[in-house]
Amino acid sequence: MKGKGNVFIGWSSNNSLALKVKAELKKNDYNGVVGGKAESSLEHGVGDTIIKQMRSSSAAIMLFTSRSDVHSICNKCGKTVGGKILSGNMLFELGFLTGSLKPNRVFIVYIGDAADCAPSDLKGLWHLRVEKNDKTEEELAAEIVELFLKEQANGLVDVKIDLVADYSRLKNLIADHLVCPVYYENEMAQIIMMYSRAAYLCDNCSSAADFLDEVLHSCGDDDRMLLAINSAAAYLNAIGDLEKDDDGKVYLTKNAYNRYKRDLESYLGDAAMIFSKDDSFRLMLEMTVYSTLAFLEMTYFSNRDDNENDFEEERDTCLAAIEAAHKFEEADKEKNELFGVLYETYAYRNLALLYKRYDEAEQAKEAFEKSISARYKVLSYYRKKDFDKTILSQAEAEYYLALTDNIGEVDEEEKNRRLKELKDYVESVKKLSYDRAYLVRKIDQILKDERGKKDS
C-alpha cells in the first residue's frame, strides 16, 4: 500500500535528513521517495532513475543546502574564489517537477543560507526557510513535514457536484494520472468514484466500466485506488446486468445480487479496518457503496414476494446510505454538500418506494417529500450552471420522475401543482432518448387519467 501517495524528496549533501523526512512522511501515511542511485543494472543511471521517481510522485519536497562553488575563477589572478551555489542537479529536478505538478505540490526548503544562493527566478515559488541551529535532524524533519502537510490538506479544490457534471474531464484526469500523477492516490480514488456517478448521469455506464477495468490493471497496489475502482465498477456493471420482465420492469437476478452484495460489503469492511472514520476517502466510499447496496436491494427485492425480513434489510440499508451521505456533507460543507444531497435523493426515493410497497403511508409520504426536495435542490443548482445538457436533462428527468412517484396520494392542491409542472416538462421536451421516453409515457398516462376523471 502506498498510502496517500508518493512524495519525491530531492537532496544534495543531506541524505540523512532526506531519510528522516521520509520517516516523518510515513507516519502520516505518505510514501517518501528519496531521489538516488539506479536500483538495477537494467536502468540507464541515476538520471533515468530519478526521472522515473519524479514521474511516479504526486508532490515533492526539495531540500536545498548551499555548497562551495569550486568553479568560480578570478579573471585577474586565475585563482579559485569563494562563493556558494545550489546543486545544479536539484535545480534540474525542480524545473521538471514544477512543470509537471500542481504549484502547491512542490515544496522548496532552504536550509540555512541556501535561500541567499537561489536564482531570482525561484523567488515567486512557495518556499520555506529553516535554520538548523541546535535542532536534531529528527526535529528538523518533523518541522518540514508538518508545514508540508498543512499545504496538502485539501488538494481537491473543486466543488464535487461540479466535477460530477464533467464526465470527460474526470476520465481525462484518471487517464493522465496513470502516466504522470498530479493528484495523490486518496484524491484520485475519490475522482474515480465521482467518475462512476458521472458515467450514470451521462448514460455511459458500459464504456465507463470497461475503462475502469483498464485502469485496474495499471494502478498498482494502492488500497484506496483498488477499493474505489472495484466499488465503482460494481455499480456500473450492476446497471449493465439489470434484466426486464414481461411488463418492462427492471430487476436484478439473485446470483447477480448476491455476488455484488458480497463484494461491496467486503469493501466496506476493508475500508473500516484500514482508514480512520473521518478519512475523506472512507467517507465517500461509504456513501457510494451504501447507495449502491440500496440500489441492488431495490432492484432485487421489489421483484420478489414481500416479507418482513426483506423489508428490514432494505430499510436499514437505505437509512445507512442516508446517514453516510450526511456524514460526507458535514466533513466539508462547501465542497461536499450538493454531491451528498445527490446521493440523498436516491436513498430517500428507495426508502419511500419501500414504505409504499409495504403500505407504510405516512413514512412513505415523508421520504417522498425529502427525495423531491433534495432533487429540486440539485436541479436548481444545475440550472444556474453552464453544464453539459445531458447532465441537466438527467437531473430534470430524476426530479420529474420523483413528482410522479406518489402523485395519487397527495392532496388536490399539491396534485394540481405537480400536474402543471409535469405538463410543462413534457411539452418542453422536443427530442427524447430511449430512457426519457419511459418517463414521458408515464407522465402522459397520468395526465390522460386526470382528464378522464374530469370528463366523467
Of 183, 144, 146, 143, the C-alpha closest to 62 is: 144
* Inter-residue contact 272 to 227 (CB < 8 Å): no
Asked if the structure places residue 446 within a domain, the reply is no
Q: DSSP string of 118-131?
A: S-GGGTTS-EEEE-
pLDDT, tens digit (0-9, with 9 covering 90-100), for 273-299: 999 898 899 999 999 999 999 999 999
Asked if the structure places residue 455 within a domain, the reply is no
**Residue 102 CB partners (closer than 8 Å, separation 6+):** 155, 182
Asked if the structure places residue 241 within a domain, the reply is yes
Q: Are residues 65 and 137 in the same domain?
A: yes
Which residues partner with 280 through β-bridges? none
In the block, residue with C-alpha cell 490538506: 153
Dihedral in degrees, nearest 10, Cα atoms 41, 44, 50, 51: -140
Residue 210 has what pLDDT? 95
Could you give the percent of the chain with pLDDT greater than 90? Answer: 45
Q: How many CA atoms lie within 13 A of 216 on its CB side?
A: 15
Q: Are residues 335 and 314 in the same domain?
A: yes
> Is the pLDDT assigned to residue 85 strictly greater than 70?
no
- Which residue, of 133, 152, 171, is where some domain finishes? 152
- Which range among 203-212, 220-229, 384-393 has the greatest average pLDDT? 203-212
Asked if the structure places residue 454 within a domain, the reply is no
Q: Are residues 301 and 176 in the same domain?
A: yes
Residue 177 has what pLDDT? 86
Which residues partner with 59 through β-bridges? 7
pLDDT, tens digit (0-9, with 9 covering 90-100), for 6-46: 899 988 878 889 999 999 999 888 888 988 654 444 444 55
Number of domains in the chain: 2
In this structure, of 151-155, 277-281, 334-338, the range with the lowest mean pLDDT score is 151-155
Q: Are residues 141 and 202 in the same domain?
A: no
Q: Are residues 114 and 244 in the same domain?
A: no
**Residue 424 CB partners (closer than 8 Å, separation 6+):** none
In this structure, of 33-47, 318-332, 372-386, 433-447, the range with the lowest mean pLDDT score is 33-47
Residue-averaged pLDDT of the chain: 84
- Which range among 135-144, 148-157, 363-372 has the greatest average pLDDT? 363-372
Of 155, 166, 162, the C-alpha closest to 189 is: 155
Asked if the structure places residue 424 within a domain, the reply is no
DSSP letter at 232? H
Residue 436 has what pLDDT? 58
3-class state of residue 87 by DSSP: coil
Q: Are residues 368 and 231 in the same domain?
A: yes
Asked if the structure places residue 448 within a domain, the reply is no
CB atoms within 10 A of CB 441: 12
- Which residue, of 406, 427, 444, is where some domain finishes? 406
Residue 1 has what pLDDT? 42
- Cα 201 to Cα 196: distance, rounded to the nearest angstrom: 9
Q: Are residues 216 and 353 in the same domain?
A: yes
Q: Are residues 16 and 142 in the same domain?
A: yes
- Cα 31 to Cα 11: distance, rounded to the nearest angstrom: 16
Q: Are residues 319 and 347 in the same domain?
A: yes
Asked if the structure places residue 231 within a domain, the reply is yes
- Cα 456 to Cα 447: distance, rounded to the nearest angstrom: 14
pLDDT, tens digit (0-9, with 9 covering 90-100), for 211-270: 999 999 887 778 999 999 999 999 999 999 999 887 778 899 999 999 999 999 999 999
pLDDT, tens digit (0-9, with 9 covering 90-100), for 36-58: 654 444 444 556 788 888 888 88
Asked if the structure places residue 227 within a domain, the reply is yes
CB atoms within 10 A of CB 248: 7
- Which residue, of 105, 136, 152, is where some domain finishes? 152
For residue 33, what is its C-alpha cell? 521517495
Domain holding 109: CATH number?
3.40.50.10140
> Is the pLDDT assigned to residue 341 strictly greater than 80?
yes
Q: Are residues 187 and 321 in the same domain?
A: yes
Rounded average pLDDT over 308-328: 94
pLDDT band at 333 (very low <50, low <70, confident <90, very high): very high
Q: Are residues 297 and 255 in the same domain?
A: yes
Domain holding 244: CATH number?
1.25.40.10
> Is the pLDDT assigned to residue 358 strictly greater than 60?
yes
For residue 238, what is its C-alpha cell? 450492476
In this structure, of 23-27, 122-126, 305-309, 451-455, the range with the lowest mean pLDDT score is 122-126
Domain containing 80 equals 5-152
Q: Are residues 147 and 222 in the same domain?
A: no
> Is the pLDDT assigned to residue 394 strictly greater than 90?
no
pLDDT band at 73 (very low <50, low <70, confident <90, very high): low
